[in-house]
Amino acid sequence: MQNFGKLMKQAQQMQSRMLKLQEELANKTVEAASGGGMVTATVNGKYEVVALKIEKDVVDPEDIEMLQDLITAAVNEGMRKVQEMTQEEMAKLTGGINIPGLI
């Protein structure tokens, strides 16, 4: 029974550290660009796009599809980078053990 109590205490500590990590990640941002930097998306640790920068040279009313593609690419790359950042931070917390449902 003593081992169970110890296990529960460790689980509570892990949960507390995970909540703190989630708060820290929410305040971190990553940047991702497409089109050689013509479109830049900034995404936070909550997977929210917090900024989008578009160089005026890439805005062509005759080619809206290209601009849409560049925006999509930058945002998707930003999301990928946040996921990578989150996985790296979780690995530090869990000692590299992959625990399903934590991310």
Q: Model-level pTM?
A: 0.78
Domain boundaries, the chain: 2-94
pLDDT at 7: 79
pLDDT of residue 22: 85
| 52-74 pLDDT, tens digit each | 999 999 999 999 999 999 999 99
Residue type, 61: P
Nearest to 83 by CA among 41, 47, 33: 47
Confidence at residue 96, expressed as pLDDT on a 0 to 100 scale: 65
Among 84, 102, 103, which residue's Cα sits nearest to residue 28?
Answer: 84
- pLDDT per position as a tens digit, 20-48: 888 888 899 999 999 999 999 999 999 99
> What is the CATH T-level fold of the domain 2-94, as seen in this structure?
Ybab; Chain: A; (3.30.1310)
CA dihedral 86, 92, 93, 98 (to 10 degrees): 70
The predicted structure's pLDDT at residue 1:
62
How confident is the prediction for the chain on average, in pLDDT?
Answer: 89
For the chain, strand residue ranges (E) read 29-34, 39-44, 49-54
pLDDT of residue 74: 98
> What local confidence, expressed as pLDDT, does residue 9 receive?
82
**Residue carrying structure tokens 């995970």:** 18
